[in-house]
């Protein structure tokens, strides 16, 4: 039995997606009740992109993310605790409370803290891949960005150089149809983003981003190409965000029929139904999985609320690295 038909592997994919959904729903509640500072950009509905990509990556691989990075972080192995502590601004957070929601990350777990300038992480990912290549390191960079970033110069400059130099980077475009409130067809004439790759001389494809196994499989193939020195790949993952752009956005610009259409293809329901049909789990099992995740989340929230806050002694630290001895 290959890994991809392994029940443990499949159930783990489901659990990771449920973990992201429940984390986001719980965090949304904490924001709305005013318990959490700052702002949030959430990814409910996009769980299969994060989990599908990251489940294909190895420990030697890295991801870059954006301001909408909670799902990527959980999928890459960050703990709910280090993330919640960060969201509360505590020193025990993954960025010591200095990053917050938009800069979630843990480099030891292979995730660069999120770059919240649209497109800003794309050249960064190409540069990380260049460093791996110069050092003959086998790792690959998976670079997450949204459809909005494709209009940025940073995208075009970075993919051109990545292609030119055959850099080991997978450009993962989560096309959720909206850049903030603006629909994709208002900002680009060719809305098939994967076709951009051909004009820069490399490969790309459009994949159902709500199908976690399809995303996983496409990522595996892209990884094989990258690891064998064939250069970058552009994965366009079609998906949909079930929530507003940021915390108080009701998303009125998403037509009701469109929402209903996408909600009927929800990545978690879709995959759970498949596993139920295959007899790997039943409806009660899915509910138990969800309850377990929620219990873990609630315990982590309880701890995060008691986590130590920075003091003024932390204000001016971490600006510069100590000088390397000559």
In the complex, which residues of this chain contact another protein (CB under 8 A)? 93-99, 103, 105-108, 112-113, 115, 117, 120, 122-132, 134-135, 153-154, 156-158, 160-161, 164-165, 317-324, 326
Of 122 and 215, which CB lies nearer to another protein in the complex structure?
122
Minimum distance between the CB of residue 58 and another protein, rounded to whole angstroms? 16
Instruction: State which residue, 164 or 283, has the beta carbon closest to another protein.
Output: 164
Nearest approach in angstroms of CB 164 to another protein is 7
Shortest CB 33 distance to another protein, Å: 26
- Rounded Cα distance between 144 and 43, Å, is 13
Least spacing, CB of residue 207 vs another protein, in Å:
25
Q: How far is the CB of 80 from another protein (least distance, A)?
A: 18
Task: Provide, rounded to whole angstroms, the least separation between the CB of residue 5 and another protein.
Answer: 35
The encoded tokens of residue 149 equal: 């970033």
| Lookup: tokens for 47 | 């769980």
Decide whether 106 or 176 has the Cβ nearer to another protein: 106
Nearer to another protein, 38 or 251 (CB): 38
As a whole number of angstroms, the distance between CA 174 and CA 176 comes to 6
Q: Of 8 and 324, which CB lies nearer to another protein in the complex structure?
A: 324
Q: How far is the CB of 241 from another protein (least distance, A)?
A: 24
Minimal distance, residue 118 CB to another protein, in Å: 10
CB of residue 26 to another protein, shortest distance in Å = 23
Residue 45 or 99 with smaller CB distance to another protein: 99
Q: Which residues contact 7 (CB under 8 A, 6 or more apart)?
A: 280
Listed residue (87, 1, 35, 74) closest to 278, CA to CA:
1
Nearer to another protein, 120 or 285 (CB): 120
Nearer to another protein, 279 or 325 (CB): 325
CB-nearer residue toward another protein: 67 or 262: 67
- The rounded distance, in Å, linking the Cα atoms of 68 and 145 is 9
């Amino acid at each position: 039995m290959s890994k991809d038909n392994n029940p443990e592997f499949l159930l783990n994919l489901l659990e990771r997606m449920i973990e992201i959904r429940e984390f986001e729903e719980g965090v949304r509640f904490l924001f709305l009740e005013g318990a959490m500072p700052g702002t949030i950009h959430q990814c409910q509905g996009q769980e299969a992109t994060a989990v599908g990509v990251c489940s294909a990556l190895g420990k030697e691989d890295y991801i870059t993310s954006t301001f909408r990075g909670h799902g990527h972080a959980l999928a890459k192995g960050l703990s709910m605790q280090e993330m919640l502590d960060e969201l509360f601004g505590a020193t025990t957070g993954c960025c010591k409370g200095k990053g917050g929601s938009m800069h979630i990350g843990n480099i030891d777990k292979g995730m660069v803290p999120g770059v919240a300038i649209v497109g800003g992480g794309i050249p960064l990912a190409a540069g990380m891949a260049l460093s791996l290549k110069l050092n003959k390191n086998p790792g690959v960079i998976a670079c997450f960005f949204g459809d909005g970033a494709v209009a940025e110069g940073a995208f075009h400059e970075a993919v051109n150089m990545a292609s030119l130099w055959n850099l080991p980077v997978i450009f993962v475009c989560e096309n959720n149809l909206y850049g903030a409130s603006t629909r994709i067809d208002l900002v680009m004439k060719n809305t098939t983003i994967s076709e951009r790759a051909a004009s820069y001389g490399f490969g790309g494809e459009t994949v159902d981003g709500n199908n976690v196994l399809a995303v996983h499989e496409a990522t595996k193939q892209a990884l094989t190409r990258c690891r064998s020195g064939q250069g970058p790949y552009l994965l366009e993952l079609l998906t949909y965000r079930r929530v507003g752009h940021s915390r108080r956005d009701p998303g009125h610009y998403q037509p009701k029929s469109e929402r209903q259409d996408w909600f009927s293809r929800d990545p978690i329901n879709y995959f759970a139904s498949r596993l139920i049909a295959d007899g790997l789990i039943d409806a009660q099992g899915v509910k138990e999985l969800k309850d377990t995740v929620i219990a873990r989340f609630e315990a982590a929230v309880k701890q995060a609320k008691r986590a130590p806050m920075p003091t003024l002694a932390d204000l001016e630290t971490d600006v510069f690295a100590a000088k390397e001895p000559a």
